[in-house]
Amino acid sequence: RDSASMPMLSAWATRVLVTGAAGVALAWYLRARSRAASGTSQATKAEACAPCAPIRTEDTPSPWPSVVHVLYDDGLGKDIAESLQSAKSLSSSVSLCIRPISKFKSIKWAAGPRHVAIFIVSTLENEQASEEAGSCCRFFLRKTHPVGMLEGKLAYAVLGLGDSNLLLDRQTTTAADCNQQAQKLDKRLSELGAFQVCRRGEADERTGNTEIEPWLRELCSALNRTCGPAPASDATSCSCGCGVALSGRPRIAPGTRR
């Protein structure tokens, strides 16, 4: 009897060993697949979190020119625009064309070549635009503009200047509550297909405009990534006549050379 049962026990033991080995192999296989899927998920997440601004390298030149139009509202806006000229973090290959925002029509936004522009816009009492910036804001906010009018033609950033002292509940408000004109302009430019170079900046006079300096540093970094060396043709193609003597790409103001 014992002798007869031995083959059966041996066969049973063999099946257990084979099944166990298969189970271990299956476990290792599933673990490897799980790790691979996790790695793919992490890579996809990293790609999704990549900055939206194009990273310029010598092998992949930027499609955007190195001339940046800085359109400023009067007062503090002008001081901010002029401070960009001496910004150490801004690449020397980036040229600035600084002018009042009321002169915005000197640039052929939809019909001309590509442009890079910074809009510095104030919001006054009752969410109104200043006299200088009003015409510019109203122009872009027109509902008659065709969809995609600025696609591939404008790269932009908007800085809003507000004062929550003008609000009734000023003790509980922030810069986001007093920069409606900048918010509307930023949203509308995006709707028209323009490329946002840098997130919208918002400053509040009541808190000392402490938001401006960090935003300017972020702006300079974004411009360095986005703007490429200007082709020779850009010296004559700019619709507002700002592209003068770009061989050394100096920072310039309308009608002057620095």
Q: 174-215: per-residue pLDDT in tens?
A: 888 899 999 999 999 999 999 999 999 999 999 999 999 999
Which tokens go with 181? Answer: 């004109």
Residue-wise pLDDT for 88-107, tens only, equals 899 888 889 999 999 998 88
- Torsion angle defined by CA atoms of residues 51, 52, 56 and 60, in that order, rounded to the nearest 10 degrees: 120
Distance (Å, whole) CA 213 – CA 221 = 13
Mean pLDDT of 149-165: 93
Torsion sign, CA atoms 244, 96, 154, 125: negative
The 3-state DSSP class for residue 24 equals: helix
- The contacts of residue 158 (CB under 8 Å, 6+ apart) are 118, 119, 121, 182, 185, 186, 189, 200, 201
* pLDDT per position as a tens digit, 226-257: 987 654 444 444 545 554 333 334 444 444 43
Quick check: 173 and 133 in contact, CB under 8 A? Answer: no
- pLDDT, tens digit, 9 for 90 and up, residues 18-52: 455 555 555 565 565 655 555 444 444 333 333 33
| Higher pLDDT, residue 86 or 9 | 86
This prediction's pTM: 0.69
Name the nearest CA neighbour of 127 among 163, 91, 86: 163
